[in-house]
Amino acid sequence: MEKKIKVGVIGATGVVGQNYLRLLQRHPWFEVVHLAASPNSAGKKYADAVAGRWHMNVDIPEAYRNIIVEDASNVSKAVGKCKIIFSAVELDKKAILALEEEYAGKGFAVVSNNSAHRATEDVPVIIPEINHSHLDIIPRQRKKRGWKDGLLVVKPNCSIQSYMLPIFAFIKAGYPIDKMILATLQAVSGAGYPGPASIDLIDNVLPTLAGEEDKSEVEPAKILGRIEGDRIVSDTSIKISAHCNRVAVSDGHIACVSLKFAGKKPGMDEIIGIWRNFSSLPQELKLPAAPVPPIIYRDEPDRPQPRKDRDAGNGMAITVGRLRPCNVLDIRFVGLHHNTVRGAAGGAILTAELLVAKGFVK
């Protein structure tokens, strides 16, 4: 790319916002020029705004240290500075709905990590390897809302990433799925900072995460759905039962999955081949953040593990293992991904790359 596309991050001082800056500091397509957060951070240099609460394992990138943080609610401050807005703001749902639409209405391509718009009929919930065709709703989204250049797309809940690519690989190979039972073991970073109190997690597991089970059961249907007119209609053919737990792991969500195929079922060797040979549009386009391969199968009986496998593919690959027959359904396996990279900032960056590649951002 001859000239980098200028981007902004709103919610830049939070953990997801910090991950954006860590991942974007040497991006070949994007240049961060605008940072915004809450009014408490507005007017400060970025380094001062995150002093004492920079949680990445690298130093604050020099390029961002002296950028003056703006108030995220003041959309006009971003106008004329950038084309893409990565949204990681922490507000109530109603405020996020309005703010993200306001940015899109001002001509920005908004790529959101928030859940507020995931149920909005004309807003695609994107996992780039699965439903990249859902971006085709953008012209209708723009027409319906009177947006000339603006658009709004969101990424899904982080916990579903551990199993959506592995099960989509089956569907793509001609093996539709009837039902799934899954249990997630979700890292503390998924709760943001400071997350659960240490006294709640040391020598303990939290067996209930507000809203996580509903998201795990509902969002896959929209991702696997289809465009009809100016809305995305969910595919509810897969019945999902989810149990979501918080565990004392810093990064890396695990899903233990049992599933039943809707008809014929592949053999074990064929399943491994399906996973290992899986590729999709982001890999074909050689997008900068696209992992190659997107699914990694581990033969070892004790893998995947968060500490050993979460950084696979620069944190963007899904690692699967422990494939075996299921005594109740057909098969069972374990999937793992890096929840703050593939499941958050990295997944949104890959979506933005796809928007550029498909011509929705010039």
- Residues identified as active-site: 158, 253
Provide the phi-psi class of 196: left if phi over 0, else alpha when psi is between -120 and 50, else beta: beta
Distance CA 171, CA 32 (A): 37
Respond yes or no on whether the N-terminal peptide bond of residue 196 is cis (omega within 30° of 0): no
Distance CA 151, CA 109 (A): 5
Distance CA 254, CA 264 (A): 27
Q: Name the DSSP class of 212.
A: H
3-state secondary structure (DSSP) of residue 242: strand
Strands (E), the chain: 5-10, 30-37, 70-71, 84-87, 109-112, 151-154, 177-186, 226-228, 231-233, 239-246, 253-261, 295-297, 318-325, 331-337
CA distances from 316 to 129, 282, 294, 332 (A): 12, 12, 7, 23
Q: Residue holding tokens 């970073």?
A: 189
Distance CA 44, CA 66 (A): 9
